[in-house]
Copies of this chain bind each other. A is one copy, B any other.
Amino acid sequence: MKKISRRTIPRTLLYLRTLESLIKEGRYTVSSGELARITGLTDVQIRKDISNFGRVGTPRIGYKTRELKNILKDYVLPENIIRMVLFGAGSLGTAILKYPGFRKQRLKISAAFDKDKRKTGKTINGVKVYPVERAPEVIRKSRVDIGIIAVPSEHGQEVADLMVGSGLKGIVNFAPVSLNLPENVSARDIDLSIEFLALYCDTRM
Digit string of A74-104 for contact with B (CB within 8 Å is 1, else 0)?
0011100010100000111011101111101
Distance in angstroms from A114 CB to nearest chain B CB is 15
A193 touches B38 (CB 8 A): no
Digit string of A153-192 for contact with B (CB within 8 Å is 1, else 0)?
1000000000000000111100011101100001110111
A178 touches B18 (CB 8 A): yes
User: Which candidate, A45-53, A54-62, A127-135, A195-203, is the interface stretch facing chain B?
Assistant: A195-203
A193 touches B102 (CB 8 A): yes
Answer yes or no: A33 CB below 8 A from chain B CBs.
no
Answer yes or no: A152 CB below 8 A from chain B CBs.
yes
- A192 to B190 alpha-carbon distance, docked (Å): 10
Distance in angstroms from A177 CB to nearest chain B CB is 7
Answer yes or no: A13 CB below 8 A from chain B CBs.
yes
Q: 5 tightest A-B contacts by CB?
A: A95-B95, A186-B202, A91-B95, A170-B203, A92-B95
A200 touches B170 (CB 8 A): yes
Count residues of chain A with CB under 8 A from any CB of chain B.
60
Within 8 A of B (CB), among A90-126: 90-92, 94-96, 98-102, 104-105, 107
B95 touches A197 (CB 8 A): no
Complex contacts, A71 vs chain B, CB 8 Å = none
Give residues in A with beta carbon < 8 Å to B.
Answer: 9-10, 13-14, 17-18, 21, 38-40, 76-78, 82, 84, 90-92, 94-96, 98-102, 104-105, 107, 145-146, 152-153, 169-172, 176-178, 180-181, 186-188, 190-204
B193 touches A188 (CB 8 A): no
B172 touches A196 (CB 8 A): yes
- A204 to B191 alpha-carbon distance, docked (Å): 24
Complex contacts, A17 vs chain B, CB 8 Å = 176, 191, 193-194
13 A-B residue pairs with Cβ-Cβ distance under 8 Å, sorted by A, are A9-B202, A78-B204, A82-B200, A91-B91, A91-B98, A95-B95, A99-B192, A107-B197, A145-B203, A146-B196, A146-B200, A169-B203, A170-B202
